[in-house]
Structure 1
Amino acid sequence: MSLRSSIAALALSAGLGASHALAANAGFTVVSVPDPQGAPITVGVWYPTEAAARPMALGIGDQTAAPGGLLKGDHLPLIVMSHGNGGFFGGHADTAQALAEAGFVVAALTHTGDNYADQSKATDMANRPRQLSVLIDYMLTASPMKAAIDPRRVGAFGFSSGGFTVLAAAGGKPDLSRVLNHCRAHPDFFDCKLTASRPLPISALLPSWTHDERIRAVVSAAPALGYSFRDLSRVTMPVQLWRAADDQILPDPEYASAVKAALPKPPEYHVVPGAGHFDFLAPCNDQGRATNPDICTSAPGFDRAAFHHTFNTAVTAFFTANLPPTHP
């Protein structure tokens, strides 16, 4: 059975048990979430709505959403999203939109200290899962949407540094002292160039990692620092793991393959032929391709938009199957 047919079958079977909260469109809003240990966290939120949607630019890409539309549904599953190094909350807007249209609330944060405008804490990796847990707290206890969210149906999606983040938040235990030997062997790798320019803080070598047991399913795409996990035995929930076959930023086998080998249960594993690292980001618009060619340009012959149709279908089917309704 092909990848496409497998995904279609999973989506169909998952849809038979889906919540009645399915809506025609994705609503969208931006909120500021208080952080007890730092500046407020900027968060984009997508959610099911019946309000009319319209095309709109978001960063270097586009989405079709209903800004401020009325939330539709109850007992909704929540997906929190963590972007890669130097990104922002809208880096996976098309995936968030697809999930919202399927009945999910999606909250994607811009990591303070590691985003396109501020790299002051780009190597403070323990700060990332902590911020993700702060976001879950907010969405379940303080958000205006809290009454519509089922706290037993929480998933996490992450890409690159975000892929590392969601694995750590789900129970993974990194050992960042491994970065030192890794970078002696691979000084030209992206993570090694980053730590050379912004050395790991002393606290990073003996950090206190935040694990959040509310996370019940994980999607990790091209996870950074995969080799650094000394223990993934607590990551026993369903995991969907993605690797770009031609990833020049986090080349195989130190990253996604290292995670696959260390997980206690086999993940749902996808290797994307012809894809580069940044092909997991939302397809870029014309302005994005003009201003950010490094992350917007795919290899000749690779259709990022077509891939994202398959990718979003697979991610939605995975979370639908593994965060089933818990109410009668």
Structure 2
Amino acid sequence: MKKFLRYLGLGLLSTFLTSTPGLAAERISFFYPPFGEFSLSVDSLETFAKVGKIDQDFSFYASRATPQQLAQLRDLLQQRFNITPTLVSQVTYSPIGEEVVQQLGKLLLTESRQNGFYAIRASLILAAADREGLTVVNLLRKFPSNTMRVNFTEGLRIVDDLSQLLKKKDEVVASLQKEAIAQAANSTVDFSKQADLRSPGKFRWQKKSLELNDVSRSRRLPVDIYLPTTQNSESTDQNSPSPPFPLIVISHGLASDRSTFVYLAEHLASYGFAVAVLEHPGSNAKRFQQYFAGLASPPEPEEFINRPLDIKYLLDELQRLEKSDPTLHRKLNFQQVGAIGQSFGGYTVLTLAGAKINFEQLRQDCNTNYSSFNLSLLLQCEASKLPQKNYELKDDRIKAIMAINPIDSLVLGEGGVSQIKMPVMLVAGSQDIFAPPVFEQIRPFTWLSDPNKYLALIENATHFSAIAEPTPENDILPVPPALLGPDRDAVYSYLNALSVAFMETHLLNRPEYRSYLQPSYATFLSKEPLNLSILQSLSVAQFNQIWSASIPQSTKLPNPQPTPR
């Protein structure tokens, strides 16, 4: 109740603040050594934003920009972000939000050259509550200091470090693509004459919805089950699945729900897999809707434990229901269970496969901020707040996993990931800024010890490329088109094909599907600009060789720490 009142109070406070007069930034100032201090009036920026006029104050800077850069600047200044003051309050008062604003405050200082944390948070809330809405100019107008000082030296360092990091990322991706192409050249398989795994299979299926209630943890779990039916099945393959059907569990990412991977569930069901897609109530879309409305606290660190426990409970309940529910009776094979997860769901399935939380790694790196460009660390470091003990999250019923854009570099680390002893496929997008591929998928791929491991790398794919189009129920925060990436249909087709091939090979032990997991199949599937590459091996030494050139201190890779067994 106290938490509820606190978060509700933040929303009310943001509205109250709009009626409180105060200072406003009149100028932006920055020091550019060795040339000295420069400044620009907010009025000049506002005039440029509204009517496109460049006055004398702004002309000094405008003359050094191209017409295209000026047009982009004006677009940015005019952009209105339609978010409520309650939402801004909720986010900026959350632990992750405070960390983001704290980092931003190192760049945007007050007139007395102090970290702009409190000033930025106040101006964000006030601008969002203003009738003109949250714009860059309005943000400056609400900044409670006559002058906003920009830490230009720090800004240049960040830009330089980011440029170097992106260059290194591109080099790593290009090197892996080159290796995959070289391996594909040795293949003699003509995939144009093979079954097309991108197309639906021969099974029809039925959807069954349940709501499970784990009383011991006070968690209600909505679940959709996609169950193949043998009636009117078009399958003539004697080796194709038959009741009891192999079972695949799908775990969604943060602020999502069970509709996110409907396309994948339906596709797998058409190949004879029973698919259970659940929602994690502590981090699903509904929870974030309540949080953004001021009716709930942000997701708790315990979600790192509760998510895998949700799936363990789901499997327990399905085993119980399979004996009593006529629609499930003898339909599910609990000796052949696979799991697929995306983002936070990727972490979830990795823990179910045997990876353990690496508290030593979290303790070492969560306070050092070694990489300010890996946004997933803001979430991963929340796990450091958990009581440190040996959580038993592995589920022996699960025999193979696919992790799409997983987050794992710190919360699991090498010590955790290396404990996985089953087939794993990691899927990475080269333009993923929320779970950067080098840190979160490519390097962790080298830590996997099982020989049956695969890295699927999709060029130009983002963190959202694998996710289905949002529904009105889960469209919490509209994602800018630039973050969605190119047309996602190609990515859907890749995942449809690869998930069938991977599960047929490693869950059903059907070696005839193994050729679909070769680099040559990725070459066959690839469509510009979302080129697909598959690697089956990459050693730590090979990765280090690619990454060996000098990189900025803020992007140094952490030293892996062991995880207690």
- So what's the TM-score if we normalise by structure 2? 0.47
Distance 1:264 1:27 in 2: 38
CA distance in 2, matches of 1:154, 1:11: 26
1:294 aligns with 2:294: no
Q: CA deviation at 1:123?
A: 3.0
Q: Contact 2:380–2:411 at 8 Å: present in 1 too?
A: no
* Superimposed CA distance per residue, residues 274-304 of structure 1 (whole angstroms, 9 cap, x where no aligned partner): 100111112457x79997541776656x220
Supply the distance in 2 between the matched residues of 1:274 and 1:40 (Cα, whole angstroms): 37
Distance across 1 between alignment mates of 2:427 and 2:395: 22
2:356 is equivalent to residue 154 of structure 1: no
Give the secondary structure class of the aligned counterpart of 2:350. helix
3-state DSSP of counterpart to 1:242 = strand
Call closer, same or farther: CA 1:88–1:281 in 2, change over 3 Å. same
Q: Does 1:165 align with 2:348?
A: yes
Q: 1:126 aligns with which of 305, 308, 325?
A: 305
Please tell me whether residue 324 in structure 1 is matched to residue 504 in structure 2: no
Q: CA deviation at 1:188?
A: 5.4
> What residue identity is the alignment partner of 1:311?
L
- SS across alignment from 1:308: helix
Shift of 1:169: 0.7
Q: Which residue of 1 aligns with 2:213?
A: 34
Indicate which of 248, 271, 274 corresponds to 1:102: 271
In 2, are the aligned partners of 1:11 and 1:317 still within 8 Å (CA)? no
- The CA deviation at 1:78 is 0.2
% of aligned pairs identical?
Answer: 23
For 1:247, what is the secondary structure of its paired residue?
A: coil
Equivalent in the alignment of 1:246: 431
Superposed, 1:126-275 pairs within 5 Å as 126-143=305-322, 144=325, 145-176=328-359, 178-179=361-362, 181-182=365-366, 184-187=369-372, 189-194=374-379, 199-200=382-383, 202-206=385-389, 208-229=391-412, 230-266=415-451, 267-275=453-461
> How many residues matched?
294
- Which secondary structure does the structure 1 equivalent of 2:450 belong to? coil
The farther-off stretch of 260-269 and 291-300 is 291-300
- Determine the structure 1 residue equivalent to 2:493: 309
- Asked whether the equivalents of residues 247 and 276 of structure 2 are also in contact (C-alpha less than 8 Å), the reply is yes
Query: Secondary structure in 2 aligned to 1:278?
Result: coil
Could you give the per-residue CA deviations for residues 239-297 of structure 1, whole angstroms, max 9, x where no partner exists? 11111111111113221123202111241111001100111112457x79997541776
Q: Which residue of 2 aligns with 1:18?
A: none
CA separation in 2, counterparts of 1:208 and 1:299? Answer: 35
Task: Note closer, same or farther for the CA distance 1:325–1:111 as it changes in structure 2 (3 Å cut).
Answer: same
Q: Distance in 2 between matches of 1:79 and 1:257?
A: 24
For residues 209 and 189 of structure 2, the distance between their equivalents in structure 1, rounded to whole angstroms, comes to: 35
Runs of 4+ in 1 over 6 A off after TM superposition: 287-291
Q: Deviations over 1:159-210 (max 9, x none)?
A: 11111110101111121453452462234543344478xx547435435231
Counterpart of 1:48, as a letter, is P
Q: Quote how far apart the aligned CAs of 1:24 are.
A: 3.7
What's 1:25 paired with? 204
Is it true that 1:117 corresponds to 2:286 in the alignment? Answer: yes
Conserved? CA contact 1:224–1:255, under 8 Å: yes
Larger mean CA deviation between 94-103 and 27-36 belongs to: 27-36
Partner of 1:83: 252
Q: Secondary structure at the match of 1:253?
A: helix
Conserved? CA contact 1:95–1:282, under 8 Å: no
Shift of 1:132: 1.0
User: Counterpart of 1:173 in 2: which secondary structure?
Assistant: coil
Query: In 2, Cα distance between the equivalents of 1:82 and 1:151?
Result: 18
Q: Helix, strand or coil: the match of 1:209?
A: coil
Question: CA separation in 1, counterparts of 2:441 and 2:379?
Answer: 19
**Counterpart amino acid of residue 168 in structure 1:** T
Query: Is 1:283–1:296's contact at 8 Å kept on the other side of the alignment?
Result: no
Matched residue type, 2:375: F
Using the TM superposition, give the Cα deviation of residue 51 of structure 1 relative to its aligned residue in structure 2, in angstroms. 8.1
Tell me, yes or no, if the aligned pair for 1:139 and 1:146 is still in contact at 8 Å. no
Change in 2 beyond 3 A, CA 1:234/1:40 = same
Instruction: State the match for 1:58 in structure 2.
Output: none
Alpha-carbon distance, 1:157 to partner:
0.5
- Tell me which protein shows more helix as a share of its residues: 2
Q: 1:226 to 1:200 in 2, by over 3 A?
A: closer
1:299/1:82 CA distance change after superposition, 3 Å: closer
Stretches of structure 2 lacking an aligned partner (at least 5 in a row): 1-183, 233-240, 289-297, 511-565
Task: Quote the residue 1:278 is aligned against.
Answer: 464
Q: C-alpha deviations, 1:21-69, integer Å up to 9, x for none? A: x7543322221113132222111111213789xxxxxxxxxxxxxxxxx
1:49 alignment partner in structure 2: 229
Q: Which amino acid aligns with 1:126?
A: I
Amino acid corresponding to residue 141 of structure 1 in structure 2: R
Q: Which runs of 5 or more structure 1 residues have no equivalent in the other structure?
A: 15-21, 53-71
CA RMSD of aligned residues (A): 3.4
SS at 1:259 equivalent: helix
Change beyond 3 A, Cα 1:314–1:163: same
How big is each residue's C-alpha offset from its partner over 1:61-98, in whole Å with a ceiling of 9 and x where there is no partner? xxxxxxxxxxx951200001111111111211100110
